[in-house]
Amino acid sequence: MEFPEELKYTEEHEWVLVEDTIVTVGITDFAQDSLGDVVFVELPEVGAEVVAGKSFGVVESVKAVSDIYAPVSGEVVEINEELPETPEVINTSPYEDGWMIKIRIADTSDLDDLMDADAYQAFVEEEA
């Protein structure tokens, strides 16, 4: 199981890459492994406003539907257009090809609530 050092993490198992005021969001290796085969993804449209802690989309495995939560509030500036056609990349490449959306962050203090890689790894080990 991978926990890249450069990323921040949520308790809902999303990862966040912070680049200035733009954050890229996806779900973690632990999340994709727990879900099993991802077969469907629903993302917001570019321009949508997302709210920290609220659902912005869903991922579905063969068995179940799971919400994906926004780690920060802000405007969606880009979505991974290829994901609906190839949702399985969330399983094979959760931290790269499986990225979901980019958000222009409204309030950088939202980032203070996120975990670093070590804290998230400890969180996952406690949950497992």
Partner 1 sequence: MKKTPLNAIHKEMGARMVDFGGWEMPVQYRGVIDEHLAVRNAAGLFDVSHMGEVEVRGKGALNYIQELTINDASKLVDGQVQYSAMCYPHGGTVDDVTLYRFASDHFLFCVNAANTEKDFAWMQEVLEEGDFGEVHLSNVSDNFAQLALQGPGAQVILSRLTDTELDTIVYYHFREGLVAGVPTLISRTGYTGEAGFELYFPPDAAVGLWKALLEAGAEDGLEPIGLGARDTLRLEMKYALYGHELSPEITPLEAGLGWITALEKPSFVGREALVKMKEQGVPRRLIGFTMTEAGIPRAEYPVFAGDKEVGVVTSGTLSPSLRIGIGLALVDPAHAAVGTPLQIGIRQRRVAAQIVKTPFVKK
Closest separation in Å from C-beta 87 to partner 1: 10
Q: Of 20-28, 59-67, 95-103, 109-117, which part binds partner 1 (CB under 8 A)?
A: 59-67
> Cβ closer to partner 1: 65 or 122?
65
54 binds partner 1 (CB under 8 A): no
- Cβ-contact 56, 14 below 8 angstroms: no
Q: How many CB atoms lie within 10 A of CB 74?
A: 22
**Contact status, residue 78 vs residue 25, Cβ threshold 8 Å:** no
Does residue number 40 form part of the binding site for partner 1 (CB under 8 A)? yes
Encoded one letter per residue, x for contact with partner 1 by CB under 8 A and - for no contact, window 66-105 reads ------------------x---------------------
Within 13-32, the residues that bind partner 1 by CB under 8 A are none
Measured from the CB atom, the residue of 39 and 106 that comes closer to partner 1 is: 39
Q: For CA atoms 51, 75, 14, 118, give the dihedral sign.
A: negative
Contact 106, 74 (CB under 8 A): yes
Q: What are phi and psi of 95, to 5 degrees?
A: -95, -10
Closer by beta carbon to partner 1, 68 or else 115: 68
- Distance CA(34)–CA(22), nearest Å, equals 28
Interacting residue ranges for partner 1, rule: CB under 8 A? 36-37, 39-40, 42, 58, 60-63, 65, 84
